[in-house]
Structure 1
């Protein structure tokens, strides 16, 4: 036979012809480890001189029972220790989850911004961020609520409209403009408009009601105009062989249907609507800005200007940042946000409703007219 021939004994240990010693490299530490061997040695030495064979066997049996008790006790101790750590980490995880949920719920429903009890004099900030629309965060109801909260706080030195918006709905913009003018006429404290990246179209409409407009040199300001944009698909629909079926009561009810040609009479009518809305825009800007506006006719052409250009045209009063405005008004960069918090559940429900309406084809814009930079 070969020299490296191996055989396995009844316990699974491998032996070779040259080395009959069992291979204990894979021994079980619970039944064959050094601790167990020590107990076996201890059991083997149990006894006294003169003990007969029966007494010696009984002593060895008792020693083995004691050894087994120790082993079981160690296993149970280890299991209890493991269970304690598992329970500890489970409780810690549950505590962190509950703390997170409690923080979210508190911030959503009970925490307020712009605490009127703040003793330090500060600016009262109201954010106008994003597109101005009834179904957007920058809607008239929310902004007007923030304006009144800041206005009524005794520790607000000046109310600041913090604007970063391309504009949006004419109606929403007009509502905010009217409220600012109402507060401005009371004269208790200044209302300032601070434009960040962009304050155009409907956002500038709002800003023009403020006592002063402040912008950065690179801000985009202006775009005083009204826009309607659509498409005409009447040729495309005829080429693919689709018949458009629209039933109306009123001969002009579907005059903006993109699958029908826009005739000259409808175009003239729609242009008159745009012109009248633009005139409202210009009149309100003139009422808010007064003699500070330049006589340059391009101001109302829909062009958009940089902050430096807007200063020369009288569209803004100074070039500065929010921090500089705060230091000028209260001596340090101190302000509080008075913009009402958004209800996360309401936002989720509203967004779901909008998506569902668009998928089902029921979505219609609030108004086809926009005070919005393109």
Structure 2
């Protein structure tokens, strides 16, 4: 059976240790040298970047997130073994791990590390599809001649290079398709390298709960369980007709994925569907006046993200979450494509005013929908002839902030608050 030493990248056939260096970090699989679809997942990414920059925290549990009213953005594995999880309310996380070091997120720092890792991925293949700031799927088909090594060895070399050059660790899932690569990477973390081959896919998945499939959330899992489908093996034997009859329109696709089938290509040009920003308050806010300042900050953040990704907003979506966790979303179209914070704010503020009826809110967010090409943003017209000048002012403010810090230029709305 083919084996690969993840330390020295030596390929060999048998033995518990590497014949070249004696290393024990060995990955073995019958299809090891044939598979080419990889899912890369950074290990506890935000927390890992913080530990990289503050080595004194290496042996301590670290939580990256907001204050007591916020949620956990990420946590290291020392915190995870105490029960802390991403998206968990901060008060609950601190009750489970009271000795954790809590660090406010610094998205600019994480984005820089993500860009560095992305560049290393693109050295391997042009077929890199980012999934999030810390995840991507790669197709290395046909790259063996270029790299003079099979994809498995190339990926192991990549993981070592990320550790050396970026200072964080990644886990790798290798498989014949995207679904199996995603399931593989979840089987061996952190600093892992797991393989699921085509021949074994159905048998490997048969005993897994239906909730292991990406896209099968708690509601769908309960529905499937209620119909008698608890494991993927119980779905695998359904023909397309049986699956449609018992599970509806989505049934055939579910049964196929339960068998490990997935025909999605790795698409570097995958369309971005949404761009947004949100924040959770330290204490509930009620009135329009006190909600305006955080809304403005989010509009600035959204404007930056739109520019970074080359988009403009055709409309805005206001998101509010009440103290009882009820979610409200409201939408407004823009008269012309924009990525200026004052335009976004002007569209969102009336939506906010209608919702601020004395209800206590714990979260506010703003999103762009639909997304439009950035080239058409803020060109000016008869309705808003001043848009180009406002765009120039915004650019000037951003340059000052980049040079002198975020507080170099502050809008009057925030100063009053």
Normalising by structure 2, we get a TM-score of 0.18
Query: Higher relative contact order by CA 8 Å / sep ≥ 6: 1 or 2?
Result: 1
Computing the radius of gyration over CA atoms, which structure comes out larger, 1 or 2?
1
Normalising by structure 1, we get a TM-score of 0.20
Greater strand content: 2
